[in-house]
Amino acid sequence: MDGTCCVRASRTRTFCRHASLLALWRAGLLLSVLGLCATSEPGCVLGTVGRPVSLPCFRPELRTAGRLTVEWRRDGELLLRSAWEEGGEHEEMWGFSPATLAADAAAARSGDFTLKLPDVEPQRDANYSLFVLSEGNRSVPVCTVCLRTAAGFSSPRLQREEGLLDNHTSFLCESGGGFPEPTVSWLINEAEEPPEGAVATRALALASLLYNVSSSLSVALPGDASVSCIISNPVLNQTLVSTSYGGGGGPPRSRASQAMWMFSTGLCVVVGAMVVAGVAYQIHLDRISKKKKKEFQATQRGYKRRRPPAFLEETEAMKPPASKETNV
């Protein structure tokens, strides 16, 4: 009897050990699956300043009938926390920023935990991570997405003025409203770089965190040389060019300004021709009107000079003679 009990106890202890090892193995497998995104290099999503952007996160394994609470964090800063009851019913959402879940209440049933930002602000690259909360403890991030923000710069404005020293020509190139800080380069005759020390560039960050940039070039140029200012934003793959033709005095003529000048000249010629034609036509109408008026007046004068009609003479004859008064 004692031997049988010992055998049963030994089997029970063996079964418990196997069960414990199986539970640990399952827990480790779950953590490995949840930590897959954390161990891999995060992908970056490009967001344009002032526009909405979505940070994708699809985790079908998180679809569960049990209670679920998740958190989105930006570099450790809590942005959003959302909880679901058993059965996938949405219980409550705490918002610490304007960010929301794209799937909202249906996230726990669909596995879509995509984060939606309604308005991207200029900022350095940031990592957004989704955590699953279990009994108040955060797990490793199940999703990590890198957000890179950018804004396009305005078309560069290029100005030129003649220098007073050594016949140098000075150029000033300005652009603004972009993010991050751009790179500025110059080309002479579309191929040659300026000499060292001829360029000075300054970028200024505004209160909105957007950048204004100005760059100056001072160099001696022949009369037929061209100078180009190039503003580059590598994040947006944006390249803006403004070119000034001729190294002599006078304002620069970029390709865009030259086309605008031609358009303005053509428009002025057309408008001038229309004005001249309108004035000529009005003069013609005035002459016709005066001619008709003269003819009408002449006709009226001729009518008055004519003899009265016969019926008027007969009427005068039928009138009785006027009575004469006599003195008795």
5-14, 106-115, 248-257: range with highest mean pLDDT: 106-115
Whether a cis peptide bond, with omega within 30° of 0, leads into 180 is yes
* pLDDT(313) > 60: no
Q: How far apart are CA 36 and CA 38, in angstroms?
A: 5
Q: Are strands 53-55 and 68-74 parallel, antiparallel or unpaired?
A: unpaired
CA-based R_g, the chain, Å: 46
Mean pLDDT in residue range 222-229? 86
| Letter string b/e over residues 188-214, b meaning 16 or more CB atoms within 10 A of that residue's CB | beeeeebeeebbeeebeeeeeebbbbb
C-alpha 233/C-alpha 203 separation (Å) is: 13
Q: Could you tell me the sign of the dihedral formed by the alpha carbons of 219, 176, 46, 34, in that order? A: positive
Tell me the mean pLDDT in the region 118-128.
Answer: 90
Round to whole Å and give the CA distance between 263 and 274.
17
> Using CA atoms, how far apart are residues 95 and 144, in angstroms rounded to an integer?
19
Closest CA to 233 of 218, 211, 248: 211
Average pLDDT over residues 216-232: 89
What domains are defined for the chain? 31-149 (2.60.40.10), 157-258 (2.60.40.10)
Cβ neighbors of 179 (< 8 A, separation 6 or more) are 49, 122, 149, 150, 151, 209, 210, 211
Mean pLDDT of 153-159: 94
pTM for the whole thing?
0.58
Structure tokens at 139: 């797990």
Least confident of 11-15, 184-188, 318-322: 11-15
Q: What pLDDT, on the 0 to 100 scale, is given for residue 262?
A: 74
* H-helix segments, the chain: 2-34, 36-39, 107-110, 255-305, 310-318
**Mean pLDDT across the chain, nearest whole number?**
76
Q: Which two tokens stand for residue 97?
A: 């920023």
CA 70 to each of CA 13, 80, 83, 87: distance values in angstroms, whole numbers, following the listed order: 38, 8, 6, 16
Residues 255-263, mean pLDDT to the nearest whole number: 60
Full DSSP string of 246-292: -SSSS----HHHHHHHHHHHHHHHHHHHHHHHHHHHHHHHHHHHHHH
- pLDDT-wise least confident of 28-32, 59-63, 269-273: 28-32
CA–CA dist 284, 296 (Å, integer): 19
pLDDT surpasses 90 at 272: no
Q: pLDDT per residue over 83-93, tens digit each?
A: 888 766 777 77
pLDDT of amino acid 305: 56
Is residue 35 pLDDT above 50, yes or no? no
Measured on CA atoms in the order 86, 90, 93, 98, is the torsion positive or negative? Answer: positive
